[in-house]
Amino acid sequence: MTSRFDCDDPAERVRGLEQAAQAARRGELVVLPTDTVYGIGADAFSPGGVAALLAAKGRGRDMPVPVLVGSPRTVEGLATDITDAGRRLVEAFWPGALTIVVNQQPSLAWDLGDTDGTVALRMPLHPVAIELLVMVGPMAVSSANRSGELPATTCDEAVDQLGDSVRVYLDGGPAGDPVPSSIVDLTGPVPLLLRSGAIDLETLRTVVPDLQVAP
């Protein structure tokens, strides 16, 4: 049975986070607020949870799921060959609307889709999301919508699109800024901006001057 919690109410927020963490550990799906749009998430290390997430969105393995983390320190355990540029970007813009694509640690026992050995990582600037990530650990999170539909900017919109496929909905009110995160690829010899989003090219280049725009 689906549950929904109003995270503006302190007591409900505590109950909701506990229920959401338990659901994620069981391989079930959770909708959570972030600093961009609402996300649908699963424990990143639950193959069944990630498969359920892809099914709920109507999305294939050819579009692998990004991973949200609750601390910048988590990057070292998930990624290999972190560049100086990557560390500077994380220090400057995390938590926030920056996603970095890095080479994943080969020993990780997860299946996020057809990733070719890479993973997209972000630490969101939202207290409810960070609390849940600290409780669960890294979570596979995609925008809370069916593929081809607009991302949900409210919990109601997420419920309308995803319905009973989600075990717990955490309602954090309207999304603060529905602009998607910027994505920087750090897997090659030169940092590449794959998507210009909430953080523009000029701002990113104040930290990484050699950042190039992907063709």
- How many whole angstroms separate alpha carbon 80 and alpha carbon 89? 16
- Per-residue pLDDT for 56 more than 90? yes
- Per-residue pLDDT for 176 more than 80? no
Q: Are 33 and 172 in contact (CB under 8 A)?
A: yes
Q: Is residue 99 part of a domain?
A: yes
Q: What is the pLDDT of residue 189?
A: 92
Range of the domain at 46: 3-208
Q: Is residue 80 part of a domain?
A: yes
Q: Is residue 146 part of a domain?
A: yes
21-44 residue pLDDT tens: 999 999 999 999 999 999 999 999
- Per-residue pLDDT for 179 more than 90? no
Q: Is residue 135 part of a domain?
A: yes
pLDDT band per the 50, 70, 90 thresholds, residue 62: confident
Which CATH number fits the domain that encloses residue 194? 3.90.870.10
Q: What is the pLDDT of residue 197?
A: 93
- How many whole angstroms separate alpha carbon 158 and alpha carbon 31? 8
61-102-104 Cα angle (round to 5): 70
- How many whole angstroms separate alpha carbon 36 and alpha carbon 174? 10
Q: What is the pLDDT of residue 63?
A: 84
Q: What is the pLDDT of residue 49?
A: 97
Average pLDDT of the chain to the nearest whole number: 95
pLDDT band per the 50, 70, 90 thresholds, residue 175: confident
Does the pTM surpass 0.75? The reply is yes
Q: Is residue 213 part of a domain?
A: no
Rounded to an integer, the average pLDDT of 192-213 is 96
- How many whole angstroms separate alpha carbon 131 and alpha carbon 145? 22
Beta carbons within 8 Å of 215's beta carbon, 6+ residues apart: none
- How many whole angstroms separate alpha carbon 109 and alpha carbon 99? 21
Q: Is residue 7 part of a domain?
A: yes
Report the domain count for the chain: 1
- How many whole angstroms separate alpha carbon 195 and alpha carbon 64? 16
Q: What is the pLDDT of residue 60?
A: 87
- Per-residue pLDDT for 177 more than 80? no
Rounded to an integer, the average pLDDT of 18-22 is 98
Rounded to an integer, the average pLDDT of 159-188 is 94
78-109 residue pLDDT tens: 999 899 999 999 999 999 999 999 999 999 98
Q: Is residue 215 part of a domain?
A: no
